[in-house]
Every structure is written in structure tokens, then in C-alpha cells.
Structure 1
């Protein structure tokens, strides 16, 4: 979402955005915007011609007050936020950026549904930077919480799989060029679904065999669409084709095994399942976190790349140290230690009592409570 204003610059001098600027008259501008100085803008500001004047996340100073005055812009406290003690972007701003990126993906997918043309440049400039920014600046569990589906599952899922895949790629020490390729491929992994009937995508009941065969075609369709898009690679197209393949040969469309499945596809397969299982969709409720982790862990020695799955579980569980959780027996506790050989079953503390879930197999983690440290990204 952007803010656009109709006022234009006026005489004398040159504005930073290419227009003419009038001479300063007293301290009127400074006084008008004084209450905004030192606060951070929460969204991009554009003029009536669509030229970016001040970017989101900018901390406003006197120079920005000049730009606001020159363009006749009136901002309120709802357009800015306080800056934390270390100047980091807030969770509120990052969440808004993610929601805006998801809205962009929805618009692009609607366009692709009609034209079958992928606007790759828009994805690279309007979606990928937001994913990178969020993955770099948000605590892992905060990112996970923000990307759980609220609505528009297909579009939020595409962004979520992009974010989780980027993190996995970074943890696997892929190069910057490979990370860009991987993240773009992950966002586009389900692009073939734009050519599947909406009534099938949104059907709450179990699909018939014929309907499932139709649904599986999205892998082949997506492969062809990406392959024909200027600026993409064969490897990116292969992610759309292979993200439902499984290491044990049980996947589709070709039943590939082991290293016949590209590493990018193995990464996206894990990210895809992880987000899908923890999200509410038209056909299923989200699974409890412990169930998702347990299933991924068991799949690490059959369906999924064990290196990728182990890395995701390790990073996710380490990120939860200090978080409060609800156990399946109703006990509220705090995670204090992750066992290296039983990572999904940590040591937790409930009051003065310590519970070692690696030994107490009758209970599991059912729910993780959000952190109380508020708005600041970590």
C-alpha cells in the first residue's frame, strides 16, 4: 500500500525528486512537522506522478520536513512510529510490508491466471526484497507467526514458502546468486495452480481421484510457464515441477528419488509442507506444532532431505528458547534447553519444576505463546 498526494512542488530551487522547491519562509514547515521528527515512516510516500519521495522505514528529519512542506503533505501520528533504542525496524512495519507483498502476489497471480505471463521483474522488485528484509530482521518464530494463514492461503503460502526457503538456503550457505534464484523459484512454486479451476482449489471436501489428477497437473503447467518466462532458469522451472517429489520415490509427477531431485526442489518441498501443515485452509485445520515437527522429523528419513529437515527443526527449536509453551496436558511452561539428539522434546520449566520432554513421552508441546517483548524485531 502506498500514499499518494496531489500537491506539487513550487518555484525556486530543486527538490530531491526532480521538481522545483520554493524558498523557506520562516520556521513554518519545521513547526508544522515538529511532532513527527525522529519518528519512522511506516510506508512509502509517493507524489501524484508516482515518484517515490520518502521510503518506508525512513527516520524523519528537517530535510524530510522540507519535502513534506514542498508537496503540501499532511501526515498524522498514524503514518509514523516510534524508533526503538537501537533503531531497528518494528514488527508492526515488517508485518505491514509482508501483508503488502502478499497483496502484490495476489494481484500478480490474478493477472497470470488470465494472461499466463509471469511478470518476473515485479516479483523481483516488489516481493523478493520484502521477503529478504523480513527473513533477516525478524525473529524466526515472529516470521512464522506472521506468515500463518489469515486469509488468501495461496498467496500467503507463496510468500511464506519463499521466506522459509530463503532461510534454509542461507543456513546451507548458498551464494547470494543462488539465494535469489531459490527464493524466486519458491515464490513461483505453485504458479501452475493459476491454471487450475478455482472451484477445485477451494473445494473443502476430499478430492476425487480424477480431481486429484487434475490438481497434480499444476507441477507440469508451472514448469512450462516458468521455462517460457524470459529471465528464469531451468533450475527455477524444475522447482515447480519437482516440489512434490519425495526422496523415497513416493511423490509426483515422476516418482523421482534421492539426488535426482534438485537441491532447490528438496528445500522448497520442506518449506511447502511445513507452512501448509501449520496453516488453516479450506480443507483442513492447522496441525499442532509438535505434530508438524514430529511428522517432519519422521519424514527426514524417508520422504524429505534429512539435512534440510534437521536444519529447519534445529533452527526453529533453538529460536524458541525462552518462549512460553502450552503442553498437551495443559501445563504452561518455558523452554530452557534444547537436547541435541532430541530437538523436538526440550527441557521446559513450569514454576519451580523442570520437565524433560525427552523422557516424559506422555506430553508434547501443543502451542507456543508469542513473545512479550512487543514490537521490536530481533
Structure 2
């Protein structure tokens, strides 16, 4: 919907790029609006923007007026019933998980029913590749851990499906992904208020959160031993350099290997207080190169094909804001095809490591 800036609220999600005085977006689509963004828009005299019908907290956005696209006049917004998209379900699940996490911080025990109630609607409505590639956009700095936990759950169970796991196993894997950071609720300090990198003492405590999570769940009916191992080991690595126990690939459970990939991917593509979010295409390429020997290579290949579908003719935007069309796909480097730019020149992304695909244009 197109609304005037006066009706824009923190938590709105941009549906289109906002341009002003240059070819580069002032603010990119899928940005979650903050008071700072609103100030910038007013400073640049932007009169209206396109936003999504849902706020980042999952609630329907109901501004007093929207702009009629045909004649550019405002009309009252009529509330109508609409089918829930997967992103709607995701945003709702984040808010539900946040409530549970807050309760755990207060000492409430984990209940399998409450956790399954969050996960099952996500499991029953499979996301498209486009929706999977959009998940990282909705994460906010303040509530990062809640968005991250739900996203890890989704990505994990989708990888599990791709590997041929039975439904019962996929559900346990998804639950393990959702609860992989539940142990963070038992830290002695509020890690989510940290606007700078952790001290060495804080980091050592954070490294214990898989153990805390395991202990929270070990006596709770409804979670299999495999799920508990997925939670306990999701920060372990193939070469034994992970934590908290430093086991290697021989003792790593499949669930842990899958959750590890989902966890690293979403963390690197999300906005954090001390780290800028990165392009999914850049991160996926990084998983294959920078994480070589640390994450399971075969599962990374499965994850890559699950996420990326850049067919010939796909329109993409690069990180230098150039627009182009995929004309040749490199089998070994699916994130780095040959692209024909709008000026009819060609660029082979395998030969330009500083240039990456920012997004596919639908």
C-alpha cells in the first residue's frame, strides 16, 4: 500500500525501494522502519512510500488513509480479510516465541505443547524460495534473537526435507532449530542489550548456552534425544573447533550439522548492533569457501540449491546498484553467474569478487 509519510510508523516494512536525487536507493525495500528512517525521509522531503500490509510484529497495519495509485488521491483504508502468507505466519511465530522466551527468563519451564503450537503452522505451510530469501530482512536489532530462532527453525526443517528425512524427524529437527538458542534465556546478563562486541568473560558464558538449552529440555516430554543433540551441538564444527565440547564430525549429529548451517547463514544476513547484514548470495558463497572444513560440505550444497534458483533470464541487482540479466549459470559457482547489464556490457562475477548479487528482482 502507498501511504503518506505522516502515517508511517516504526515497525512498518518498505515494499519498494525509496529513491531521491540519485540512482541508489535512499532506503531499500524490506527495510524495517525505525524513527531514524522516518527522520531521513522527512529530511529528504519524501512525501509517500509503499509499505507492506503487515507490521514487523505480525499485526495488520491500518493507517487512516492510503493513496489511490490511479489518481494519487487519498481514500480511507477498508479493512478486508486476506489469506495469510508464509511471512505473516513467520512474523506471528516470532511474537509467540518472544513471549515464551521472556517466560523462560523468568523461570518458567519449557512446555512442548507451546513450542509445537508455534512451529507446526510454519511446517504445514511450506515457504517459496523467494520467501526463504526474504526472511533475513525482517530481523530487527532489538529483537534479533526471536527472529533468528524462528528463521533457523524454518531453514533447518527445509534442509531436513531436502535430505529425505521422514516427517516425524523433520518436525523434531525444526523444534530443535527453534530452541537452539533457548539457553540464552539463562545467561546472567542481557546479551540482547549489548550494542558492542562481548567481553571475553561474557563470550565464555555465551558459549555455554547450548548446555543451558540442553538442560532446559532433557526432562521435558516431547523432545527426542536427537533434537537435544541438535541443540547441544549446533555450535560444534566438523574440524573440532566449535563449542561447548569441541567434538568433531565423527560425533556430530545430523541435526546439529543442519542447524549450524541455518544458524550461520541467518546470523550473517541479519542486521546486528555490531555487524551489518550481508547479501544472502555473498553469505552462501562464503559458507562454501570461508567455512570449508568447518561445516558439512554436502549439506551446504543442499542448502545452496534450496535457496538459489537463478535461471537464465533472471533479473538481478548487484551491490553496486547495477541491474542486469543472468545469461549463463556457472554450475560450480551458482551465486556468481555471467550477467548482461542494462548497458549491454557483460560481467562474469567469478572474476569480480568484490561484486555480488544483492537480490533477484521479481
Is this a same-fold pair by TM over 0.5?
A: yes
1:111 to 92, 103, 111: 103
> What residue in structure 1 maps to residue 241 of structure 2?
250
Task: Note the C-alpha offset of 1:346.
Answer: 1.2
> What residue in structure 1 maps to residue 294 of structure 2?
303
Query: Are 1:102 and 2:103 counterparts?
Result: no
Paired with 1:264 and 1:333, the residues of 2 have a C-alpha distance of 38
Larger radius of gyration: 1
> What residue in structure 2 maps to residue 340 of structure 1?
331
Task: Note the C-alpha offset of 1:293.
Answer: 2.0
Paired with 1:258 and 1:300, the residues of 2 have a C-alpha distance of 14
Task: Note the C-alpha offset of 1:336.
Answer: 4.2
For residues 96-153 of structure 1, give each alpha carbon's deviation from its aligned partner in whole angstroms, at most 9, with x where no partner exists.
Answer: 222111111111111122124112102212x21232244x2x3213233134343311
**2:133 and 2:307 in contact (8 A); partners too:** no
> What residue in structure 1 maps to residue 253 of structure 2?
262
Query: Are 1:79 and 2:80 counterparts?
Result: yes
Paired with 2:259 and 2:78, the residues of 1 have a C-alpha distance of 40
| Matched pairs, number | 285
**1:323 and 1:368 in contact (8 A); partners too:** no
Query: Are 1:349 and 2:340 counterparts?
Result: yes
TM-score, normalised by the number of residues in structure 2: 0.72
Stretches of structure 1 lacking an aligned partner (at least 5 in a row): 1-41, 44-75, 82-88, 372-378
TM-score, normalised by the number of residues in structure 1: 0.69
**1:345 and 1:364 in contact (8 A); partners too:** no
Go from structure 1 to structure 2 and tell me whether the alpha carbon gap of 1:336 and 1:311 turns closer, same or farther (over 3 Å shift): farther
Query: Are 1:203 and 2:194 counterparts?
Result: yes
Go from structure 1 to structure 2 and tell me whether the alpha carbon gap of 1:185 and 1:322 turns closer, same or farther (over 3 Å shift): farther
Task: Note the C-alpha offset of 1:357.
Answer: 2.2
Go from structure 1 to structure 2 and tell me whether the alpha carbon gap of 1:357 and 1:332 turns closer, same or farther (over 3 Å shift): same
Stretches of structure 2 lacking an aligned partner (at least 5 in a row): 1-52, 55-76
> What residue in structure 2 maps to residue 179 of structure 1?
170
Task: Note the C-alpha offset of 1:330.
Answer: 3.9
Query: Are 1:229 and 2:229 counterparts?
Result: no
For residues 184-209 of structure 1, give each alpha carbon's deviation from its aligned partner in whole angstroms, at most 9, with x where no partner exists.
Answer: 11100001001114533321212121
For residues 338-373 of structure 1, give each alpha carbon's deviation from its aligned partner in whole angstroms, at most 9, with x where no partner exists.
Answer: 321122211222234443323x335532410552xx
Q: Compute the RMSD of aligned alpha carbons.
A: 2.4
